[in-house]
Amino acid sequence: MFWVKIQEAPFDAELPNLDQKIQENNCGALVSFKGIVRGYDEKDPLDYLYLEHFPEVTEQEIERILQRAQGHWGIRSAIVIHRVGRLNIGENIVLVMVSASHRKAAFEASQFIMDYLKTEAPFWKKEFFQNGNSRWVEAKQSDIEQKKRWALS
Amino acid sequence: MFWVKIQEAPFDAELPNLDQKIQENNCGALVSFKGIVRGYDEKDPLDYLYLEHFPEVTEQEIERILQRAQGHWGIRSAIVIHRVGRLNIGENIVLVMVSASHRKAAFEASQFIMDYLKTEAPFWKKEFFQNGNSRWVEAKQSDIEQKKRWALS
Amino acid sequence: MIKIRYFGFLKEILNLEEEEIKWSKGNSQELLTFLRTRSSFWAESLSEENIFRLVINKKVIYETTPISSGDEIAILPPVTGG
Amino acid sequence: MIKIRYFGFLKEILNLEEEEIKWSKGNSQELLTFLRTRSSFWAESLSEENIFRLVINKKVIYETTPISSGDEIAILPPVTGG
What CATH number is associated with residue C39? 3.10.20.30
User: Shortest Cα distance from A126 to chain B (angstroms)?
Assistant: 17
Alpha helices in C2-80 (DSSP H): 8-13, 28-36, 40-45
Over residues C56-67, mean pLDDT:
97
> What local confidence, expressed as pLDDT, does residue B42 receive?
64
How many residues does this entry show for chain B? 153
Residue among A38, A40, A103 with most chain B CBs within 10 A, to mutate: A103
DSSP B56: T
> Domains of chain B (ranges plus CATH)?
2-148 (3.90.1170.40)
> What local confidence, expressed as pLDDT, does residue B41 receive?
64
Domain that holds residue C60: 2-76
Angle at A72 between CA A66 and CA A73, to 5 degrees: 85
Q: Is residue D37 a part of any domain in this protein?
A: yes
- How many domains is chain D built from? 1
* Chain B residues within 8 A of A33 when measuring between CB atoms: 29-31, 103, 106-107
User: Shortest Cα distance from D30 to chain B (angstroms)?
Assistant: 23
Q: Is residue C59 a part of any domain in this protein?
A: yes
Tens-place pLDDT, residues A55-82? 999 999 999 999 999 999 999 999 999 9
β strands within chain A, DSSP E: 2-7, 29-36, 46-53, 77-83, 85-88, 92-100, 123-129, 134-136
How many residues does this entry show for chain A? 153
pTM recorded for the entire structure:
0.94
Interface contact A114-C58, CB threshold 8 A? no
Residue C57's φ and ψ, nearest 5 degrees, are 50, 50
* Chains linked to B by 3 or more Cβ pairs within 8 Å: A, D
Tens-place pLDDT, residues D40-74? 999 999 999 999 999 999 999 999 999 999 999 99
User: Shortest Cα distance from B77 to chain A (angstroms)?
Assistant: 14
